[in-house]
Amino acid sequence: MNANIRTLLECRKHLFRLLLIAVFFVMLDFLISISSPALLSDSYYLEKYLTPQALTATQEFLQNEGYLSPSDIAGWVNRPNVSRGRWEIDQYGSRSSSATRANREDDFILFLGSSTVNGGQSVRNDETVSAYLETYGEKCLNFGTMLYSLDQSLLLYEDHGRRFRHSFVVVGVDGFLDQGLGNIYIPLREREQVNMPFVKPRFMEKGGRLQKIEVDVESLLADPLASQQLQTVIQESDQYYGEFLKFKRFSLMPFSELYRRGESLLNRAVGLFRLKEEDFHLQKMVMEKFVETGKNYQAKVIFLKFVDRGSYARGTVKQFLPDRYRASQEVMKEWPFYIVDTKEVLLKSGLTPDEIFFSDGTHLRPAANKAIADYLNAFILSMEKET
């Protein structure tokens, strides 16, 4: 009996030592991670945060070798006269169908937004929403550009609206809330976007008005790892700088990195329950500016709110979680804008989720684009009758 007790006490003693050693290493881990930012440069962390692929993509972008070209107006634009597989961009930077022959004297419907508007690379030019709308006799120019947020669409419209005669402009709005409005450097918001590690202008509210934060694209991206200007801009004006700050503080050592990932998952989960009307304030201001700009061009603005598969066909688990898309629609339907909800349109189309969405759950198949175009045609006709 005494021998058993001694063995048990010895085991407890060893376990206690192991626990002390574990606590020591965890504390050492956090101590090294937290103190390292004072010793290591921002460029070291940025290089660790980015990937070689992202750095290569940046140089290709600046050298005009891809699908996009640098733009001080909106960060980037479709590179004109590009034809690669199903992707065709005309001389104006528009992904228009072959039926369109852009004549500046024609009366167009302009399309602006992200790749949900231009259709992405899985559809042909004649399978986009704008192309199907042309089957009703309209002439459309589709300036939808990959990863655009609403502020970029506005800035591009302010420039392109004066170049082409138009009576209507259709503006894509992605998801329940435009996450790009507070962002300048794309990797801070979407680290996985290694093919588009670009910078963009943004608006901030100041004194009840929109203030534009300019960016010099080529200057900021010429050498992002060594650019103190880039560090200053994102620190002062990028809403997502906090993500990079957490990376600096907690990514160097394994335990602190595990803590960072866990906190990130927890924040996302909590975010499901924190959608408030004030979260939409900046988006509403940008949309108001869109309508004001449209009036200057004697054009009406239609906002096309795109739904993704996760919000369209909510699975068993999501049934018990807040529906942020629906909540955002409840907020936005009170706004004095013309807003078309693609979820409602597609629910009435009779199409199944597999017939609507490609495998990425974001981009729409041709049948879904056609259903939206059919609805848009009727919507525009009703607006013309109002006039």
Least confident of 79-83, 159-163, 218-222, 259-263: 259-263
The pLDDT score that the predictor gives to residue 322 is: 79
Q: Tokens standing for 297?
A: 């061009």
Sign of CA dihedral 286, 339, 271, 310: negative
Number of Cβ atoms within 10 Å of the Cβ of 266: 10
Q: Give me the pLDDT at residue 66, please.
A: 87
User: Exposure of 132 by Cβ count < 10 A (0-12 exposed, 13-18 middle, 19+ buried)?
Assistant: buried
pLDDT at position 8 is 67
Q: What is the mean pLDDT of residues 145-174?
A: 96
Neighbours of 203 (CB within 10 A): 20
> Among all chains, which residue has been given the structure tokens 């996450």?
179
How does pLDDT run across 17-69, given as a tens digit for each residue?
Answer: 777 777 776 777 677 777 777 778 888 889 989 988 999 999 999 998 889 99
Give dist(CA 236, CA 228) in Å, integer.
Answer: 12
- At residue 155, the pLDDT reads 98
| pLDDT of 217 | 96
**DSSP one-letter code for 275:** -
> Measured between alpha carbons, how far is 39 from 252 in angstroms, rounded to an integer?
12
Distance CA 263, CA 46 (A): 20
**Of 123 and 259, the one with more pLDDT:** 123
Asked if 167 and 299 count as a contact pair (C-beta separation under 8 A), the reply is yes
pLDDT at 65: 84
Interval 115-158: pLDDT, tens:
999 999 999 999 999 999 999 999 999 999 999 999 999 999 99
- 234, pLDDT greater than 80: yes
Cα 251 to Cα 97: distance, rounded to the nearest angstrom: 47
Q: How far apart are the first and last CA of the chain?
A: 97
The two structure tokens encoding residue 93:
């930077």
Distance, in Å, from the CA atom of 146 to the CA atom of 128, rounded to the nearest integer, reads 14
User: pTM of the prediction?
Assistant: 0.89
Q: DSSP strand E in 60-177: where?
A: 68-71, 75-78, 82-84, 87-89, 108-112, 140-142, 166-174
Whether residue 99 is predicted with pLDDT greater than 60 in this model: the reply is: no
Compute and round to an integer the Cα radius of gyration of the chain. Answer: 25
pLDDT at 100: 55
d(Cα 188, Cα 198) in Å, to the nearest integer? 10
